[in-house]
Chains A and B, each alone.
Chain A
Amino acid sequence: MPYPVPALNLSPGCRPASPAAAAPPPPVGPDRSSGRAPGRRGVRGWALAGMCVMLLAAVFLSGGCRPSSEASQRPLCVAGSTSVQPFAEKLAEVYMHQHPQERIDVQGGGSSAGIYAATHGAADLGASSRELLDQEKQLVEIPIAFDGIAVIVHPSNPLTNISLADIRKIFSGAVKDWRGLGLPPHAIDLITREEGSGTREAFEHLVMNKQEITPAALVQDSNGSVREIVAGDPHALGYISAGLVDDRVKTLAIDGVPPTREDIKAHKYKLVRRFLFVAKAPPGGSCKAFVDFVLGPDGQKVLETEGLVGVN
């Protein structure tokens, strides 16, 4: 549901940084280094070193997306979902390798922040791992990939299939014990993602049907740590991005459909979300070139190698 407009927390990049941010701290006193006595050199040296460090810090902090001397034009700015971010970074890296004169800056911030940034022109492309809300539909949406959300258990767990309704019962707290699924009785160690995570948002949207996830669930702040816990705990149940499943955990088929590449692509598997780029207007110029690259064979291959399912 819509919540108050997110305050965008982009680093100085993306918008022209104010000149004040780059200004070095004012000199503390007149430089009289020429006339200093040899004995004072130590203390003075340290003070100078300290100032140098501050100056350097100021220079680095003011960096961000602003055009550097090598780049001829303003870099393209992609901001938004942290689920999309690693893939967008990879795409940008490959693209910049092919087109050395281009610069693309990728930032996180979350889907809502990315959509907000695109709406207000703070970013050229917003990245979103959730669908646009009704009031956001005026944006141009460019689906770049599909990502399945896999429900995972420990490899020793005999369960292979689970119904969507059962997942909802477990995550809403109605079923707390494996006995409820016909397994030997033991409490389910339920793991979810933190509030605000795109994966959690998509999971709630696809599974929970407006019910809240039980507060008794363990909360981890990344796909990796959810996977880590499930890999170590025979009684755990969690969900992660299907691209990040490895052989230390077992994925469950949902209503008989396992999260395979084909079934995700055909939307037979139920927990599928789209990764979107969004923009205020149909992209043009260098932005269009990048989008074309992402949707073209090279970009889609990058996404497939990274574990997603391409749209084309």
Chain B
Amino acid sequence: MQREKFIERILLLLALSAIGSLALITVFIFLEGVPLILATGLNKFILSSHWAPTKGHFGILAMIISSVLVTLGAMVIGVPLGLACAIVLAEFSPKRLKLVLKPTLELLAGIPSVVYGFLGVIWLVPLIRVYLGGPGLSLLAASIILGIMILPTVISISIDALTAVPDLYRDGSLALGATQWQTVSRVVLPAASSGIITAVILGMGRAIGETMAVIMVAGNALQIPTSVLDPVRTLTSNIALELGYAAGRHREALFATGIVLFIIIMILNLSATLITRRR
């Protein structure tokens, strides 16, 4: 019995260490970043887009806007695709197709992001440059790559939401003479809507946090984009690009960028949790 207790305690300790590391990370980035925000002024930090950290300008507005735009772009591409895929898998597909499709999609989640980025640079970026203009490294390229990268998240959570809808609903609808598509679009989807919204929000979290692939295809320019073909720099890219050389104030500014990112992702995840709870 004593040994049982001992193991239980070890497991508890390991479980707590996960939470502990989250707490440590939070404390650390706030300790490192807050002094700069205080020194620069929150308004100037968030509402200026003049970023020249070695010359004392710390404005991240352009990056906040770019992060939001890249994420929205990824949603525009990833959500319809992912949702369609989830509906097919949950409602229409024959068992055998499902047997092939589902593991394939899970494999998509296992591809490292640097591979997506590499494919983007080699294949997507030249296509955009030649056929649409601009330097190719652009908001559009980043959105497309991220749209594909969030598919597994969106699909798997949407499928869970759809399969959680009781068959009674489907049977009732079909019995009333609705076609299968009417059943799905008017009965099953509304019933699963909170789960699907969660899927979308978690997909957003994934998109806004992605770094490597975005650095490779987004071009990282510091301006506020005026077209989808303009290069952009997201909050995550900014940290990863410059951390290698940053010292002093510059380094603090990157942690402060991290704080902004942290808060955005916290809000996204909390809202996803709240929406799921309400169900």
Q: Which residues of A contact B (CB under 8 A)?
A: 1, 3-9, 28-29, 32, 36-37, 40, 43-44, 47, 50, 82, 108-110, 112-113, 116, 187, 189, 194-198, 201, 212, 215-221, 228-229, 232-233, 235-236
Give the residue name and chain of the A residue nearest to B247 (CB): A6
In B28-58, which residues have CB < 8 Å from any A CB?
Answer: 49, 51-56
A28-B13, A82-B245 known; A195-B6 Cβ under 8 A: no
Residues from chain A with Cβ under 8 Å of B52 in the complex: 195, 212
For residue A200, give the distance in angstroms from its CB to the closest CB of chain B: 9
Residues from chain B with Cβ under 8 Å of A232 in the complex: 125-126
Query: Does the CB pair A8–B247 fall under 8 Å?
Result: yes
Given A189-B135, A215-B49, 16 more contacts at CB 8 Å?
A: A3-B54, A3-B250, A8-B247, A47-B10, A82-B245, A189-B134, A195-B242, A197-B245, A215-B222, A216-B230, A216-B231, A218-B137, A221-B240, A221-B244, A232-B126, A235-B135
In B204-253, which residues have CB < 8 Å from any A CB?
Answer: 215, 219-223, 230-231, 233, 240-242, 244-251
**Alpha-carbon distance between A196 and B253 when the two chains are bound, in angstroms:** 13
B7 beta carbon closer than 8 Å to chain A: yes
Query: Does the CB pair B126–A194 fall under 8 Å?
Result: no
Give the residue name and chain of the B residue nearest to A51 (CB): B10
**Alpha-carbon distance between A221 and B233 when the two chains are bound, in angstroms:** 12
Give the residue name and chain of the A residue nearest to B50 (CB): A215
Give the residue name and chain of the B residue nearest to A219 (CB): B220
Residues from chain B with Cβ under 8 Å of A229 in the complex: 135, 137
- Write 7 A-B pairs (CB below 8 A) sorted by A numbering: A28-B13, A189-B134, A194-B242, A194-B245, A195-B245, A216-B223, A219-B221
Query: Does the CB pair A217–B221 fall under 8 Å?
Result: yes
**Alpha-carbon distance between A212 and B126 when the two chains are bound, in angstroms:** 29
Query: Does the CB pair A6–B248 fall under 8 Å?
Result: yes
For residue B1, give the distance in angstroms from its CB to the closest CB of chain A: 12
Query: Does the CB pair B62–A215 fall under 8 Å?
Result: yes
Residues from chain B with Cβ under 8 Å of A228 in the complex: 121
